[in-house]
Structure 1
Amino acid sequence: MTIQSSLKLYHHGRFKVAGGVLPDAVTAYQTYGDPKNPCIVFPTCYGAKLALGSQDYLVGEDKVLDPRKYFIVTFALFCNGESSSPSNTPAPYNGAYFPYISYEDNIRAQHAVLTKELGVSKVYCAIGFSMGGQQAYHWAVVFPDFVEKIVPICSSARTSPHNACLLEGAKSAMQASIDFQAGHYTSNPQQGIRAFGRAMLPWAYNQTWFREQVYLTALGGEYPDLQTFVRGGGEAFWLQHWDANDMISLLNTWQNGDVSQVRDGGDYAKTLKSIKAQVLLLPSKTDLMFPPEDSRVEMSYLGSATLCVIETSWGHSAGGSANPGDVDFVSTQVREFLK
């Protein structure tokens, strides 16, 4: 059983962001456990919503982030539809007019919630999958004395050119669709969202995973063939739960992620060498978005860091909740690290 609060909204008031300003920025969050316990920050990844239980695979009694031992705070990224996003912000900053949001903007907002609303003076660990892991890295750079440990899972300190390029393909598929209308649609553009979902799907898993047709058996047996999986696994979730402008805006944050832009003018090595927090890197062996080679490069610059590769055929999805075996492996490594 998870000791979970309902979704909460923190109003920042006028909040400056990388692309302009939000007149009344809102950060959505949830808390688990006793505030007297060590605080763990667990922000969302791309495609995650707190209200859908996206963080529950690691949070709960007898799970690695146990509310009986830790005070866990889960944060919704700006642009995910729960925190300030194109879909829920009033004019004139709504829809296609929503300003660009950086990772640093998200971390500053989360820090405000922790310190001003929750009374947290120190974060024991910032942990996250994919975009969540990039936020964990930014925690260690934006507030270097505030966080003791970070755990990026299937993630990296900056978005590689290859990663940014594959994301550009999915974004272009959305933007080129006839119903997207440059973001000025009056109803959610189904054609664009379907194209986006299909473009992203191959990158979520791995060639071996597809070659062995794991989608036929491992996802509840609901997909009898590849085309059914492409529609049900690649399109349905986005159509049911997401706004197209939110998807594009959040993708822009991902594409431009780079901790060295926060304070060192692009000197990637210098920024990584300056990180004070202890680091546990958990890349997936078969990740096509954040390959383990990138993590090995980061290891060469980090001071106090451990690298543990997830041996899996589940690709990027290994760091999320898709495969129970990978969740168990990640949980074991994180549990040891948090000791």
Structure 2
Amino acid sequence: MSSQTNFHHHGRFRVSGGVLPDAVTAYRTYGDPANPCIVFPTCYGGKLDSQMYMVGEGKVMDPQRYFVVTFALFSNGESSSPSNTPAPYNGPYFPAVSYEDNIRAQYAVLQKLGIQKVYAVIGFSMGGQQAYHWPVMYPDVVERYVVICGSARTSPHNQCFLEGPKAALVASKDFNNGHYLETPQLGIRAFARVYSAWAYGQTWFREHKYKWDGLYPDLASFLRERWEDRFLQDWDANDLITLLHTWQNGDVSQIRHGGDLRACLTDIQAKGLIMPSKTDLYFPPEDSVNEMASLTPGFSRLVVIDTVWGHTAGGGSNSTDDAFVQAEIRKFLEE
């Protein structure tokens, strides 16, 4: 099953850091628009192709049952990004973009498609943070939301972690303040290595010894092939930094209640399923427990993924966790 990538041109579009003369949102659709609509946005490091682990016949987002719309975040290299925007907003001149900007753009696409109601917004990591934003920004549109390994506000701990890979990239001698003329190999390789250490739980490293089903003979091979190569092949350095800032500044309570997260979460009336990973070092389950205390009782529930796979447990990294996550979501959607 495949769907072509579509590009919605918004025209002049204001974002948190300025304006884009012709903002573009990349998206795909699966299934019949007459069926209940599910929105499935990308995460950090995610492209539209990477959304397929949950979309397809027999999967939780089955196009036979739902109309699935997958959205590419601004700055992921498919929607408007530093790497594909012409001057004068190319490269390091690309403006800062917020989650709110992304959701407004996604909503515009749904209006174009004739979608009036969203049965569910489902997201992993940065996608999960978008899932929190949808029912706050469009409470009369969204019926349900699923947050997988995400949070309503990027915690100070998470913001601090992100400073590590960012510093490794922007301080490299070939990044050149974003004015590089070819791929900054040193910077992206350093970024990937710093980022890799937080992707899994400590128990995963102890149990798997870096081999990932026997593919990698040692740690050096694991870092070079699994992490450096992935970012070198698929990502532009300025895209990585701009998207990282969207993540770093994520806070759904800035949309309403002026930063009062408790009041903002209390207002959410959509049904929610919050699924943190037990061993997540990006979005620890304690953050989800704290958020649950503010969500209206009876409207949301917390299900912890009991795993050694850390943050990656929610992103389709292994069959056991993927089956558990999809089963819980399926049960939630069918209630």
Name the TM tier (shorter chain). Answer: over 0.9
Report the Cα offset of residue 215 of structure 1: 3.0
User: Do structure 1's residue 254 and structure 2's residue 247 form an aligned pair?
Assistant: yes
Q: Secondary structure at the match of 1:287?
A: coil
Moved over 3 A (4+): none
Write the deviation string for residues 94-142 of structure 1: whole angstroms up to 9, x where unpaired: 0000000000000000000001x21000000000000000000000111
Give the Cα–Cα distance (whole angstroms) in 1 for the partners of residues 209 and 53 of structure 2: 21
Report the Cα offset of residue 214 of structure 1: 4.8
After alignment, is 174-183 or 226-235 more displaced? 226-235
Report the Cα offset of residue 156 of structure 1: 0.5
Write the deviation string for residues 19-69 of structure 1: whole angstroms up to 9, x where unpaired: 00000000000000000000000000000111xx21111000000100000
Letter in 2 for 1:89: T
Residue of structure 2 in register with 1:98 after alignment: 94
Task: Provide the aligned length of Structure 1 versus Structure 2.
Answer: 332
After alignment, is 29-38 or 207-216 more displaced? 207-216
Write the deviation string for residues 213-270 of structure 1: whole angstroms up to 9, x where unpaired: 353143xx22111111011112110000110000000000000000001121110100
Mapped contact 1:145–1:276 kept (Cα < 8 A): no
Which residue of the other structure, out of 307, 312, 325, is the alignment partner of 2:307?
A: 312
Which residue of the other structure, out of 79, 84, 95, is the alignment partner of 1:83?
A: 79
Please, which runs of 5 or more residues in structure 2 have no aligned partner? none
CA RMSD for the aligned pairs? 0.7
Distance 1:214 1:65, change over 3 A: farther
The correspondence of residues 276-287 of structure 1 with structure 2, limited to 5 A, is 276-287=269-280
The correspondence of residues 95-174 of structure 1 with structure 2, limited to 5 A, is 95-115=91-111, 117-174=112-169
Report the Cα offset of residue 212 of structure 1: 1.6
Q: Secondary structure at the match of 2:29?
A: strand
Give the Cα–Cα distance (whole angstroms) in 2 for the partners of residues 142 and 111 of structure 1: 10
Residue of structure 2 in register with 1:27 after alignment: 25
Letter in 2 for 1:38: P
User: Do structure 1's residue 200 and structure 2's residue 198 form an aligned pair?
Assistant: no
TM-score, normalization: structure 2?
Answer: 0.98
Residue of structure 2 in register with 1:294 after alignment: 287
Percent identity of the aligned residues?
A: 65
User: Do structure 1's residue 212 and structure 2's residue 210 form an aligned pair?
Assistant: no
Residue of structure 2 in register with 1:233 after alignment: 226
Mapped contact 1:170–1:200 kept (Cα < 8 A): yes
Please, which runs of 5 or more residues in structure 1 have no aligned partner? none
TM-score, normalization: structure 1?
Answer: 0.97
Write the deviation string for residues 284-326 of structure 1: whole angstroms up to 9, x where unpaired: 0000000111000010000111100000000000000211111
Letter in 2 for 1:26: V
Letter in 1 for 2:40: F
Which residue of the other structure, out of 315, 321, 325, is the alignment partner of 1:326?
A: 321
The correspondence of residues 48-87 of structure 1 with structure 2, limited to 5 A, is 48-50=46-48, 53-87=49-83
Write the deviation string for residues 66-90 of structure 1: whole angstroms up to 9, x where unpaired: 0000000000000000000000001
